[in-house]
Structure 1
């Protein structure tokens, strides 16, 4: 048999096999190949040796192959929690593949080239050569089947690992969704708290505007109410600022959660696609459609069909998944911290605002009580002044009556004196009648003057009483006006103060489905 025909026969036989992989040098005994190459001529061997052969990367020993863990839920051989000491976790299984695949043609040419120098030209038995060739092909096929089973096992384990990490990502997405919904719920709660705080500020401004209507008389009362309102205004402004700052923090955290969610969704989608591809790759080993195909020359390049981008290392893949999961876990932890801080701070803000509101209401109640007491006192004084005024009026009336009674005798006495002054000549003398008339006139005049003095005093007293009564009435008007203002502020304006602000916190109910 010529070398060309022998090579063609061997190649035709070997190309009909299903799976061919690398054949270790110890798989076939050298003595068998010596007998196989005995009948080959030196020129044929040289012809085959001149064929260029690609370089081959030797296999790692079988003990270097990693095996997947017993538990598929722990692909790293460690804890199932990816957040616990990820750097110390063991690496998932991997197999080192040769850089250049070994095809049936390359295998036979390599074997012929390796043992051609030891050929014995004295033996040229075609049946022996055919037997050895068939033995070589059978052992190569068996080795290829074993290697293919190992590859299928690794693909199945890889699918399990991908499913495990997909479940982890899905669980993390669900937890992130729950935490994000909680954060959004408190964001809506903060919006309600902000509206309540604005309403409290409007109530305070209305109270301050109403307080300007008061007539300032007692500075201590006015200053106390004004000071409490001013302090409440400062507290409301501080509360509004804190709520606005918390809203900004929550908005930024919601953006971070959205970014983490998008990264996880992309990673989850890629892993689902990888599961589909690897599952299909593993199924190729048992699919008859692929098992019956015969390799052709144009399909022998292992790089054909592989993505053009750089293939990432397993460490990079692990680090990317861990980075996404850790970023999501960090976002969830920050969300929970923000929620706790919001709950604590809003409770403190509500307590502060409610305390200031209670202080304002207490100051208004004290002011109302003071105005009421003062008004009652003024009413009592006005009653006393009215009695004194009536007494003065009575005295004035009596004095006027007495004056009228005394003026009639005085008029008579004056007329008598005028009449006696008409006596002629010597008859106009100071007789006893004249002396009596003169004494009567003096007495009557003194009585009238005294009564007129008493009347003047009584009138002056009544005038003073009238002035005092006027002052008391003005004070009474001031008391009633201020009492009405404070009562309006306390009962009407302060009634509009948001009742959601309590010492236990903001009693607001947020919408479950916001617009």
Structure 2
């Protein structure tokens, strides 16, 4: 209608063209006169001008907004790249650390296997020494050192088994943290590829299209703070486990070094005890052999003495027979001729002297024969003691000490071989 007022231009234009004062809008004039035509042209010209200005402003706004979004995506790419690098670095560190810990675990296993030989040697030595004979079958300092060695090896084996289990557990934790970091890294790689694709989009891209509901945020979406905290916690846990692995490797080094030193020191102590014991046995055997030689000589001399005494007794038989025969014959003298003359008295005293001599010789013979029997018993005892010492020497020197030459080296006990 010609005589009605029109409303101002759209509200969107009013919001974008934020002028500080309200513009005055002249109501249109009737179209049939020159004044109305002028007003229509003026209004149309203003609308065209405002439309051009609005288009320019929206174009500039869209361009600025797109540039800002592109810049924000680029910053996000930088953040992703930074976290990716840190995660990749931590994964590489964990892989290297796990490999080193695996090598230490293998050293522990080799060291545990190497302790089987010393334990077998110690137990075999103890069993061999059970075959010693009395009086050498005693708990001497060699046996005490062997028992100490066997107990030490058992304790070391338990320690190595516990340390192996600790290493296995730490390797599992390292791998779990590595997998966690790899999953985080993989997610960031995927996010990086998506954002990199988004950063390449521009107004001439052919892949873009309308997505009406793309502005809706997922309820499970994280915030920049929780996003950064998640990765930071993963890195902290990974670093904590890696440092624990480094400390465990240091502990394993100390354990293996101490184990090897303790076993070799105890081995040297046992060998030294064996050396002293063998010297004692050898010295005792030599002294026994000397006593045996002297005893054998004395037995020979005593046998000669017994033979001489027997001969002396035998030699007194004929004079006694002669004297007794004389007395017997003279007892047949007739009548007054049976006189106690000097010859009679001398013959009687001769018989008494001979009997006394025979008695003394027989007593001495009994003593000599008893001494000879004692010497024979001593000889048998000495020979038995020498046999016992020889057997003990054979067990300690030929059996035990020869077996101990198979004792592992320091490198083997340390798990290097």
**Which band: TM-score by shorter chain?**
0.7 to 0.9
CA shift for structure 1 position 145: 1.8
Aligned to 2:416: 509
**Aligned match of 1:388 in 277, 298, 303?**
298
Conserved? CA contact 1:201–1:233, under 8 Å: yes
CA shift for structure 1 position 346: 2.2
**Aligned match of 2:363 in 453, 457, 466?**
453
* Greater relative CO, 1 or 2 (CA 8 Å, sep 6+): 2
Conserved? CA contact 1:382–1:473, under 8 Å: yes
CA shift for structure 1 position 181: 0.7
Q: TM-score, normalised to structure 2's length? A: 0.84
Q: TM-score, normalised to structure 1's length? A: 0.69
Give the whole-Å Cα distance in 1 for the aligned partners of 2:24 and 2:253.
87
Report the aligned-residue RMSD: 3.3
**Aligned match of 1:358 in 257, 264, 268?**
268
1:335 equivalenced with 2:252 (yes/no): no
For 1:248-267, list aligned pairs within 5 A. Answer: 248-267=165-184
Conserved? CA contact 1:180–1:254, under 8 Å: yes
1:224 equivalenced with 2:141 (yes/no): yes
Give the whole-Å Cα distance in 1 for the aligned partners of 2:26 and 2:117.
108
CA shift for structure 1 position 113: 12
Distance 1:447 1:200, change over 3 A: same
1:474 equivalenced with 2:384 (yes/no): yes
CA shift for structure 1 position 300: 4.4
For 1:294-443, list aligned pairs within 5 A. Answer: 299-303=211-215, 308-421=218-331, 429-430=339-340, 434-435=344-345, 437-443=347-353
Alpha-carbon displacement from aligned partner over 1:56-88 (angstroms, at most 9, x marks no partner): xxxxxxxxxxxxxxxxxxxxxxxxxxxxxxxxx
Distance 1:281 1:416, change over 3 A: same
**Aligned match of 1:148 in 54, 63, 66?**
66
Size of the aligned set, in residue pairs, is 403
For 1:153-164, list aligned pairs within 5 A. Answer: 153-164=71-82
Distance 1:358 1:216, change over 3 A: farther
Q: Which has the larger displacement, 274-283 or 160-169?
A: 160-169
Q: Which has the larger displacement, 320-329 or 436-445?
A: 436-445
CA shift for structure 1 position 426: 6.0
Give the whole-Å Cα distance in 2 for the aligned partners of 1:312 and 1:42.
54
Distance 1:368 1:112, change over 3 A: closer
Conserved? CA contact 1:169–1:325, under 8 Å: yes
Aligned to 2:188: 271
Q: Which stretches in structure 1 are left out of the alignment for 5+ residues? A: 3-38, 50-106, 511-515
Give the whole-Å Cα distance in 1 for the aligned partners of 2:353 and 2:195.
144
CA shift for structure 1 position 112: 9.9
Give the whole-Å Cα distance in 1 for the aligned partners of 2:65 and 2:277.
97
Aligned to 1:121: 27
CA shift for structure 1 position 263: 1.1
Q: Which has the larger displacement, 447-456 or 271-280?
A: 447-456
Distance 1:264 1:483, change over 3 A: same
Please state whether the residue corresponding to 2:56 is helix, strand or coil: helix
Distance 1:118 1:276, change over 3 A: farther
For 1:134-213, list aligned pairs within 5 A. Answer: 134-213=52-131
Give the whole-Å Cα distance in 2 for the aligned partners of 1:468 and 1:113.
135
Of Structure 1 and Structure 2, the greater helix share is in 2
CA shift for structure 1 position 348: 1.8
Give the whole-Å Cα distance in 2 for the aligned partners of 1:137 and 1:493.
102
CA shift for structure 1 position 421: 4.6
Alpha-carbon displacement from aligned partner over 1:6-62 (angstroms, at most 9, x marks no partner): xxxxxxxxxxxxxxxxxxxxxxxxxxxxxxxxx9x756669x67xxxxxxxxxxxxx
Give the whole-Å Cα distance in 1 for the aligned partners of 2:76 and 2:340.
159
Q: Which has the larger displacement, 416-425 or 311-320?
A: 416-425
Alpha-carbon displacement from aligned partner over 1:402-421 (angstroms, at most 9, x marks no partner): 22222233334434444455
CA shift for structure 1 position 422: 5.2
Distance 1:261 1:412, change over 3 A: same
Conserved? CA contact 1:351–1:505, under 8 Å: no
Give the whole-Å Cα distance in 1 for the aligned partners of 2:73 and 2:16.
31
Give the whole-Å Cα distance in 1 for the aligned partners of 2:399 and 2:67.
89
